[in-house]
Amino acid sequence: MRGTIATACILLTLALVYGLSCVVRPFRDCWVCSGQAHHRSKSNPALSRPCRWCRATGKRLRLGRRAWNRARSLHRDAL
């Protein structure tokens, strides 16, 4: 029983820390273009095209922040 409570406390603490980190830093570097906002051609590095995954910003919303925004949107629509 103690192990279950301790595990629940650890998981809650991790969720709280992750939630706070999503509030402080809602964006992270795009994993497709590594935050460069453009793709470089492997054969000719001088050629590049905008990254469509991050819409050429180099940043993407973190999963926790995206879930929070979705929940807020659903709540707002329900009122």
The CA distances from residue 3 to 8, 11, 29, 68, in Å, are: 8, 12, 37, 30
CB of 39 to Zn ion, least distance (A): 8
Contact call for residues 60 and 41 (beta carbons, < 8 A): no
List the x/- string, 31-60, binding to Zn ion by CB under 5 A.
Answer: -xx-----------------x-xx------
Compute the least distance from the CB of residue 28 to Zn ion, in Å.
Answer: 11
Residues binding Zn ion (CB under 5 A): 30, 32-33, 51, 53-54
